[in-house]
Structure 1
Amino acid sequence: MSAHLTHADALAQFPEARVDTMQLTRRTIGYREAGATHPHAMPVVLLHGIGSGAASWVRQLESLGATRRVLAWDAPGYGASTPVAPASPVASDYAAALADWLDALDIERCVLVGHSLGAIVAGAFAAEHASRVAGLLLVSPASGYGAASAEVRETKRDARLAMLAELGPQGLAEQRSANMLSAHASDAARDWVRWNMARIVPQGYAQATHLLANADLAADLKRYRGRIAVAVGAADAITTPAACERIAQAAGVSLQVIPNAGHAGYIESPAAYTTLIDAFCRTGAEPRSN
């Protein structure tokens, strides 16, 4: 990692690319890529959370790209990526977009790393396309509210939508970005989380809010029998270690806890999370229990 480079300077090494899918549902997906010169290593695909984007993974692109192909997408409705069609989408809508994008890039199989809401997308994709997933690493996974009562789902959804309407992307970034990090985070990490959150597209964020209300990650994980690992920052106040423990139990694995890290731990503690991802790619997750 080029620690002397700012996040923005490092990002300049990985300019945004776009690809148009060739399926019946034609769409554009924006993404950033590193390590294209390593065609024989298993690709790693990084899926961001609800208040973020592909650029948030810059330190992982920088480090992991030295030995393997690494791709981070802007989810549908983020950046230049075409939104999914439904106003209130489900996880399979995003999983279909992920499949289209991987097809367009001729990626038949990969390791999937999903952070927060990205874990929901990763879990749905793995449940539906298990043969294409060499491993599933869920980092501070959001579980979704799909198993909750209609009242809880609607309350959670409507509160987040009201906040978006009141504050807008810039206001969300100013008021909510600090919650993503622990007290140990540097000013540079705080600035980077804020910058990424300020760039969200309201329509895409609103659809992702519906996805969060509709999804049930634990149920999807029970449909996938491949390699899984689940990790969380010890100081994560959004998807807490207790909440992530329930996801790990649903997956049949032990929860890995990263010290001195909050929800966006891969931004504030990039070396620890890069090591986590690299180790998962090299050795796989622990065997799942039945």
Structure 2
Amino acid sequence: MSHAIDNLASPLTADLQARLARNFPQRTLELAGARQAFRECGSGPAVVLLHGIGSGSASWLQVAQELGSKARVIAWDAPGYGDSTPLRALAPDASDYAERLLQMLDALGIQRCVLVGHSLGAMTAVAFASGVQQQRVSRLVLISPAQGYGHPSRSEQRQQVRNKRLHALEQLGLQQMAEQRSPYMLSPAASPQALAWVRWNMARLNPEGYRQAIELLCGDDLLRHAPLSMPCEVHCGEADGITTAESCRILAKSLGGTFALINDAGHASPIEQPCVVAGRLAFAIKESLTGASL
């Protein structure tokens, strides 16, 4: 699939795009009639990275490069993102995404992993980690998790969010939407390169997959998939204005997990503070191995 935005690469993203192709290349699998795209690097214990609603597998590039010497790093493009086939349901829930994740892990021979969900990816991560395959997740890491608007108490917000996002998609188009929304993903101190990389990733969205993800965000509730049987940790950028530190702290408590801030970061901390995020994930991998040996 070609993306027009590739022809608009700025000097700020050119180096990252070259590193992406060289060090974290895309691969695809054929899974029961569906194509699944992902990126992979490194070797060792598996860590699986799930991106947010306005992003893709490439957003994990710098984190993956830091982790590749310690782990087998796999970042998927969610169904309907990148070259991944959308799901069949027009309004899928987190369990539908988790089923595709299971197919991918089976095809890659991954029997156990540290599972990481950023933003909307946290909903799929929790759904998978609480399902029948929960023994395959040694540790769950949620970064700025989106709780979703599926709970009956959030019906008014649900309709507002759905209408706002669909309206932006239809009226602005993906490129203009990326221009407008990208600054809100980062802290005020973010580098120009971080802003450009957020924008580049967002501009590559596919309308069909994005619409399905909007339905996931608006129709499901992360806590519906609790409780969890494995250790869980929640991290949030201190300047996150989308999933605020306080909301993430409350969510961590509801999940029985730990909570920690990421300094000098907004919502897209894997892009803004990749070394810090990679350090947190390296610790999670180490803890998962220690737990397995007890």
Give me the TM-score of the superposition, normalised by structure 1: 0.91
CA contact (8 A) 2:95 2:127 kept: yes
- Equivalent in 270, 275, 280 of residue 279 of structure 2: 275
Please name the residue that 1:211 is paired with. 216
Paired with 2:253 and 2:154, the residues of 1 have a C-alpha distance of 22
Corresponding position: 1:27 with 2:34: yes
Q: Give the match for residue 76 of structure 1.
A: 79
Matched, 1:11 2:20: yes
Aligned-residue offset at 1:243: 1.2
Q: 63, 82, 103: which is aligned to 2:66?
A: 63
2 CA distance for matches of 1:149 and 1:241? 19
Aligned residues: 274
- Structure having the larger proportion of residues in helix: 2
1:103 is matched with: 106
Match of 2:180 in 1: 175
Assess if the C-alpha contact under 8 Å between 1:10 and 1:62 holds in 2. no
Give the structure 2 partner of residue 132 of structure 1.
136
Residue 202 of structure 2 aligns with which residue? Answer: 197
2:259 aligned with 1:249, yes or no? no
Deviations 1:233-288 (A, max 9, x none): 00001110011112101111231011111000110111111101111111249x9x
1-side partners of 2:191 and 2:157: how far apart?
A: 35
Cα deviation code 1:166-193 (max 9, x no counterpart): 1111011100011000012111111000
Q: Secondary structure at the match of 1:135?
A: strand
Separation of aligned partners in 1, 2:280 and 2:258? 14
Q: TM-score, normalised by structure 2?
A: 0.90
CA distance in 1, matches of 2:173, 2:112: 37
CA contact (8 A) 2:114 2:288 kept: no
* Match among 160, 180, 184 for residue 189 of structure 2: 184
Gaps of 5+ in 2: 1-13
Post-superposition shift, 1:90?
A: 0.7
Q: % of aligned pairs identical? A: 46
Query: 1:127: Cα distance to partner?
Result: 0.9
Residue 130 of structure 2 aligns to a residue whose secondary structure is helix
Contact 2:185 2:267 in 1 (8 A): yes
Deviations 1:17-44 (A, max 9, x none): 000114xxx2111111001xx2xx3200
Indicate the RMSD between aligned Cα atoms, in angstroms.
Answer: 1.5
Tell me whether 144-153 or 233-242 shows the greater mean CA deviation: 144-153
232, 243, 256: which one aligns with 1:228:
232
